[in-house]
Amino acid sequence: MTTAKSFDPKPSIDLNGKKVGNDGAQAVAAVVSVCDDVDFVSLSQNKITNDGALALAAMVREAKAVDTLHLVNNAIEERGAEALAAACHASTLMIRLNLNLNTVPQKLVQE
């Protein structure tokens, strides 16, 4: 008898368009920072600004599993984008940071 392997996906957080704003971004960052297995976080279209981006940058530095962070179509500007880029570059886990449709200098988008 052959049994199929069970698929055990890692937990992810997808709150696209849920109007979480900076408070929600900070709450997600706090939770993910202490989780051992959340690998995907998507907070696109949530009106997150630099304040939320700074909390998410700290999350990237502390996270144990996050390798993908989507922040499309928020209100993140250069300061927040630079903090996120620096955290991603310092991380051994991060594979993808998506900041499309934010007010981010082109040089940061291409890094």
The answer to whether residue 3 scores a pLDDT higher than 80 is no
Cα 37 → chain centroid: 14
Q: pLDDT tens digit string along 55-103? A: 999 999 999 999 999 999 999 999 999 999 999 999 999 999 999 999 9
Q: pLDDT tens digit string along 21-50? A: 999 999 999 999 999 999 999 999 999 999
Lay out the sheet containing 96-98: strands in order across: 12-14, 40-42, 68-70, 96-98
Helices (H) and strands (E) in the chain, counts: 4, 4
